[in-house]
Structure 1
Amino acid sequence: MASPPAPPRLWKRAAGRGALALAGAASLVLGLLTPAAADTFVSDAVTSDNLTHVANVPKTETMSDFNSDLAFTGDYAIGGNYNGFVIYDISEPEEPRIVSEVLCPGGQGDLSVSGDLVYFSVEYPRAGTECGAPSTSAADPDGFEGIRIFDISDKANPQYVAAVRTDCGSHTNTLVPGKDGEHEYVYVSSYSPSANFPNCQPPHDKISVIEVPLDDPASAEVVDTPVLFPDGGNIRTSGCHDITVYPKHDIAAGACMGDGILMDISDPAAPVVTDVVRDENFAFWHSATFTNDGRTVLFTDELGGGGGAVCTEEIGPQRGANAIYTIDGPGSDPELEFEGYYKLPRHQGTTENCVAHNGSLIPVPGRDYFVQAWYQGGVSVLDFNNPKRVREIGYFDRAPIDEDRLVLGGSWSAYYYNGYVYSSDITRGLDVIKLEDNRFRVAEQVHMDEFNPQSQPEYRPGRGHGR
């Protein structure tokens, strides 16, 4: 590419709603790659003394497009890609291997996992619901965008189950467990409507709520489209980018372009906005994470849409950063109170796209540690026990992909799971990082059977959160 690519969040309209063709039949590629053993692995990254880069699984030709987000179930990591998704066996974290790949284009491939089901976002209009359907124009009223559902009970042979259409498609999705044990819900975030798009009409000030009967996931359907911004919200808000839920506390935080919001999800089928905040330094409210006690929330600002080189001295420490808010007031009337910013302290070059992106808590009960992706800024480990004075305590950072021009790449998401950090690198594949720091020893006692970073569990020593 001779010039920086369009930011990922803009490709929805630039490519997905245009005529860019990513046709191809659904297919599976089984167990193609087993990386070298850990004792022969040589890292190309610079790390702090308390991190070790232990493995990398390069992308295959099937998944040659950009890697995106991650979810985890048992001994498996599932990685999204603009071409579909990959299932990795991480039972030996320092020797991960690809089990299968599902070729199913439709956008950045955001995903959630629930038992044997994968919920997969589609935001580029397709001519049909099946994986092999070619792209189509957003002006096509019969075009499909929304959620595809897959059965991954056989990890080597995932099966397509069903599709659910949602307005403006699905840029991201968030799994929300039901309270009756018979249903679960998927919150679908999307944005950028147009009067020219019959399935994405303005004002798009809402999300879609999909209800999934656990005994019949093929009958999943949209049960509500709650309006989150009845007054229209910020002038830059036309939907939400991402929502993180904390079911144990019946709360959710929404990153909604020009607004950050807090929601009551005590009825998961009908979320209710309880507070809204704005920040003149935030260009694009992108994602959110709660602390384990549910009293603090960290929002990220994706200044430049992920395609810009904004981790520079010129941009400064308050833009393209994290903003930390405490939650004050009673549960019925909470208020988000700003505490401070955190920006990657290691300045990156002008050819490195870098901005605050996806991360998760390191599960140390009673303490607040966070691991976070910064695209070509790499992976940062931070201490935000004092939300007014956040500091970096570890890092993983590669050299620029290209010293002479801005090329999109780097860590899209970095998450802690059962003793290791897994980083989905846009161009270089899956990285596995070992934390070697006494502050995180207790985290190794927290075992998770399943982990969707946007559906936060409550951590307790020696226990996971189950499903």
Structure 2
Amino acid sequence: MTTPRTLSLSVLAAATAVVTMAGPALACPPGGDDETRTSEPAVQQDVVSHQIRSVPLPPSAAVKGVRLAATLPDAKGAISLGFLTYGHRTVMYVSGTFGLKTYDVTDPAAPKALGALSMPGMWETEDTEADPRRKLVFMARDPRAFGGNTHTGESGIYIVSLADPAKPVQQAYEKVPAGHTTSCVDGCRYLWTGGPARADWMPADWGGRPVWVTDVQDPRRPRTFPQPIELGRDDGKTDYVHDIQVDATGVTWASGAGGVRGYWTQGRHWDPVRRTTRVARAWDPVPYAGGGVSETAAPSRFMHNSFRPVGSTADEAPGHGDLVYITEEAFNPGCADDGRLVIASLRGSYDGEGWRSTPEEPFRLRTVGTWSVAGQEGSRTDTDDCSAHYFDVHHDLLAQSFYTQGTRLLDVRDPAHPKQVAYYRPADAMSWAPYWHAGYLYVADNNRGIDILRPEVH
């Protein structure tokens, strides 16, 4: 087994030509790249014990098929959340521009605030994940955090212990060349960290940052491999990897500019690119399937996140392994051309086609179905902010965030024709990501905090 070496940014930077041209447009609003502040954040532990009371639904909200069970307005700035179990107790962790907060949600409709790790100025902590066994939370530091920018800002990973969920404790911080999202692979023994736009010192022909792998088997001494992976993903061009998801079979899916590609990160597998059977490692994964998404389905081809249902549990969506659900994130004038949900087939991509794609001979996954919030019941007509964002699937219901267009519930029993069956759109919505838990839908809303919804559709 190769032992990872600690990454030296100065060495890596010196070996790479420094360029001054700006990176590509940001994938996730709001904010600009050029605001700079030199001071580091004051990271401190806060302990709170009061119970948060629910807030009535604003009268101007557009709602169908759900009811509001509770709201956590003290979590304003929320971007992501997740759940950890402690015996019979369930704890929710929430990350956002404030840092990290924890709540007891053993009663899912009556959360109680527990503690916080204050990190004012964090950006954006999308898709924050945790190790359920070691009770560790991994928070990505985007280079725009604390007043930085994508050209020169520092990025990395904070490792936070929730051994006592009322007292979050930072165990380590690791500088990494990427930092928009960081995700567990191989049971959280390793992290894959990607995005955002390229830094000035990175190769000029990169469209964005690929993936760096960090060994977190010793969480107090994380070690990052010096060489990135998931290169050449955009028809041969190295580009922005935005999000990582691991399906129930252990295949790790990388979404970003140029499409979605899946990898084995452990075990022996046939490598369709190298044309040999070999052992997959987190830092040397074996290609599995995937590729670009058709421009007619997703004109921007910036695929924000994905999910492959494999039919292994009762909570899985239809598909049984050959379908992949993908979010396109794009912001264009008018709603009609903004990012949408794409359901694509993986058939025809299992022989490495997505790794051989070029502009001259492009490979694209076959589109099965698409869905856009534009013109749908419950939608606002006075905003251009209609892009799709994170989603979560439970049985045959897919819940998806659409920023100011709120949270939408889609029936995906017929993947070729997703159908809206419920929605929740407060007038002040900035829906970032929904999460199913214990029959409820928890919505991380950057304006409102956390809204806890009780769906009334099945």
Q: Could you tell me which residue of structure 2 aligns to residue 211 of structure 1?
A: 215
1:71 to 68, 82, 86: 82
In structure 2, what is the Cα distance between the partners aligned to 1:352 and 1:205? 27
- 1:272-311 aligned at under 5 Å gives the runs 272-273=286-287, 274-280=289-295, 281-283=298-300, 284-291=302-309, 292=316, 293-304=320-331, 310=334
Question: Is the CA contact (8 Å cut-off) linking 1:13 and 1:192 kept in structure 2?
Answer: no
Instruction: Determine whether 1:374 maps to 2:402.
Output: yes
Is the Cα contact below 8 Å between 2:393 and 2:399 reproduced in 1? yes
Give the conservation status (yes or no) of the 8 Å contact 1:243–1:287.
yes
Instruction: Describe how 1:76-87 pairs up with structure 2 within 5 A.
Output: 76-87=91-102
- Against the structure 1 CA distance between its residues 172 and 56, is the aligned structure 2 distance closer, same or farther, given a 3 Å change threshold? same
Distance 1:158 1:262, change over 3 A: same
User: Do the aligned partners of 1:226 and 1:271 also contact (CA within 8 Å) in 2?
Assistant: no
**Which residue identity lines up with residue 337 of structure 1 in the other structure?**
R
One-letter amino acid matched to 1:162: A
Trace 1:20-419 onto structure 2 (pairs within 5 A). Answer: 20=37, 23-31=40-48, 33-36=50-53, 42-44=56-58, 45-48=61-64, 50-59=65-74, 66-74=77-85, 75-104=90-119, 105-110=121-126, 111-115=128-132, 116-124=135-143, 144-167=154-177, 169-178=178-187, 184-194=189-199, 196-197=200-201, 203=206, 206-213=210-217, 216-223=218-225, 225-230=227-232, 233=235, 238-246=239-247, 248-266=248-266, 267-269=280-282, 270-273=284-287, 274-280=289-295, 281-283=298-300, 284-291=302-309, 292=316, 293-304=320-331, 310=334, 312=335, 315=336, 319-328=338-347, 336-344=365-373, 345-346=376-377, 347-351=379-383, 353-362=385-394, 364=395, 368-399=396-427, 401=428, 410-419=430-439
Matched residues in 1 for 2:366 and 2:151: separation? 42
Contact 1:67 1:424 (C-alpha < 8 Å) held by counterparts:
yes
Residues 1:84 and 1:201: Cα distance change in structure 2 (over 3 Å): farther
Kept after mapping to 2: 8 A contact 1:261/1:275: yes
Q: Which runs of 5+ in 1 are unaligned?
A: 1-5, 127-133, 402-408, 440-467
State the secondary structure of the residue aligned to 1:59: helix
**1:121 positional shift:** 0.4
Partner Cα separation in structure 2 for residue 158 and residue 351 of structure 1: 38
Q: Distance in 1 between matches of 2:250 and 2:340?
A: 27
**Residues 309/119 of structure 1: CA separation in 2 closer, same or farther (3 Å cut):** farther
State the 1:254 CA deviation.
2.1
Taking structure 2 as the reference length, the TM-score comes to: 0.75
Following TM superposition, by how much is the alpha carbon of 1:197 offset from its aligned partner in structure 2, in angstroms? 3.6
Find the aligned partners of 1:175 and 1:56 in 2 and give their Cα distance.
29
Amino acid of the structure 2 residue aligned with 1:94: A
1:43–1:54 CA contact under 8 A, matched in 2: no
CA contact (8 A) 2:190 2:215 kept: yes
Aligned Cα root-mean-square deviation (Å): 3.0
CA distance in 1, matches of 2:303, 2:349: 25
**In 2, distance between residues paired with 1:288 and 1:240?**
12
Structure 1 residues 431, 268: closer, same or farther in 2, change over 3 A? farther
Asked if structure 1 preserves the Cα contact closer than 8 Å seen for 2:441 and 2:455, the reply is yes
Q: Compared with structure 1, are the counterparts of its residues 375 and 32 closer, same or farther at alpha carbon in structure 2 (3 Å cutoff)?
A: farther
SS, match of residue 28 in structure 2: helix
**TM-score under structure 1 length normalisation:** 0.74
Do the aligned partners of 2:45 and 2:169 also contact (CA within 8 Å) in 1? no
Q: Shift of residue 369 of structure 1?
A: 2.3
In the aligned structure 1, how far is the partner of 2:57 from the partner of 2:260?
Answer: 38
Displacement, 1:358?
Answer: 0.6
Distance 1:125 1:410 in 2: 20
Which residue of the partner structure matches residue 445 of structure 1?
A: none
Distance 1:376 1:10, change over 3 A: closer
Q: Which amino acid aligns with 1:415?
A: Y
C-alpha displacement at 1:348, in angstroms? 2.0
Quick one: distance in 1 between partners of 2:384 and 2:151? 35
Q: Secondary structure at the match of 2:453?
A: strand
- Letter of the 1:323 partner, please give it: V
Greater mean alpha carbon deviation, residues 106-115 or residues 150-159 = 106-115
Deviations along 1:208-228, one digit per CA (max 9) or x if unpaired, are: 111221xx3112212364432
Other structure's SS at 2:115 match: strand
The one-letter code matched in structure 1 to 2:193 is: V
Q: Secondary structure in 1 aligned to 2:143?
A: strand
Counterpart Cα distance in 2 of 1:384 and 1:412 = 21
SS of alignment partner, residue 33 of structure 2: helix
- Size of the aligned set, in residue pairs, is 383
Q: Which amino acid aligns with 2:389?
A: H
| Conservation of the 8 A alpha-carbon contact between 1:68 and 1:425 | yes
